[in-house]
Structure 1
Amino acid sequence: MTVTHPILDQIAAALEPYGLVQRGGIVFDEVNVPSPLIRGSHFRSVVLVGHFGSSIWPHFVRWREDHPGAQDPLDTWSREVLTAVAARFGATAVFPSDQPYLPFQQWAMCAEGLNTSPLGILIHPQYGLWHAFRGALLFDHVLDLSSGGPQRHPCDDCRDRPCLSACPVNAFSIDGYDVVRCRGHLASGEGDTCITGGCLARRACPVGHEHAYSAQQMRFHMHAFAKA
Structure 2
Amino acid sequence: MTYAEIERLGEVNNLLILGGIHPENKEHLPEWCETLVLLGPTSDFWADFSTSPEWLDQRPDPMDRWSERVLNAMARDLKGEAIFPFGGPPFKPFFSWALETGQTWQSPVNLLVHSTQGLMVSYRGALALRERLDLPPAGERPCDTCPQPCLTACIPRALTADRYDVPGCKAHISGEKGRENKQLGCSVRRACPVSQSYARMSEQNAYHMRIFLGEDR
The TM-score normalised by the length of structure 2 is 0.86
**Other structure's SS at 1:123 match:** strand
Structure 2 CA distance for aligned equivalents of residues 86 and 134 of structure 1: 13
- Matched with 1:97 is 86
Contact 1:70 1:76 in 2 (8 A): no
Q: 1:49 aligns with which of 18, 39, 54?
A: 39
| C-alpha distance 66-194 of structure 1, shift in aligned 2 (>3 A) | closer
- Matched with 1:82 is 71
Matched, 1:220 2:207: yes
Superposition misfits of 4+ residues, deviation over 4 angstroms: none
- Matched with 1:180 is 167
Structure 2 CA distance for aligned equivalents of residues 152 and 9 of structure 1: 21
| C-alpha distance 79-165 of structure 1, shift in aligned 2 (>3 A) | same
- Matched with 1:59 is 48
| C-alpha distance 180-143 of structure 1, shift in aligned 2 (>3 A) | same
Gaps of 5+ in 2: none
- Matched with 1:158 is 146
Structure 2 CA distance for aligned equivalents of residues 37 and 63 of structure 1: 30
Letter in 2 for 1:119: V
Measured against aligned partners, the alpha-carbon deviations of 1:20-49 in whole angstroms (never above 9, x if no partner) come to 1222322222xxxx01345xx434231211
Matched, 1:130 2:120: yes
| C-alpha distance 89-211 of structure 1, shift in aligned 2 (>3 A) | same
Gaps of 5+ in 1: 1-5
Contact 1:93 1:138 in 2 (8 A): yes
| C-alpha distance 105-148 of structure 1, shift in aligned 2 (>3 A) | same
Contact 2:112 2:119 in 1 (8 A): yes
Measured against aligned partners, the alpha-carbon deviations of 1:162-196 in whole angstroms (never above 9, x if no partner) come to 21222121112221311121012223454222101
How far the C-alpha of 1:56 sits from its partner, in A, is 1.2
User: Equivalent residues in 2 for 1:5-20 (5 A)?
Assistant: 6-20=1-15
Contact 1:171 1:181 in 2 (8 A): yes
Q: Give the number of the structure whose residues are more often strand, by fraction.
A: 1
Contact 1:171 1:178 in 2 (8 A): yes
- Matched with 2:27 is 36
**Other structure's SS at 1:172 match:** coil
Contact 2:153 2:191 in 1 (8 A): yes
Contact 1:24 1:47 in 2 (8 A): yes
Contact 2:54 2:63 in 1 (8 A): no
Structure 2 CA distance for aligned equivalents of residues 10 and 50 of structure 1: 16
User: Equivalent residues in 2 for 1:206-217 (5 A)?
Assistant: 206-217=193-204
Backbone CA RMSD of aligned residues:
2.3
Matched, 1:22 2:11: no
Aligned residues: 213
Structure 2 CA distance for aligned equivalents of residues 146 and 206 of structure 1: 26
| Larger deviation, residues 207-216 vs 94-103 | 207-216
- Percentage identity across aligned positions? 33
| Larger deviation, residues 188-197 vs 62-71 | 62-71
Contact 2:54 2:66 in 1 (8 A): no
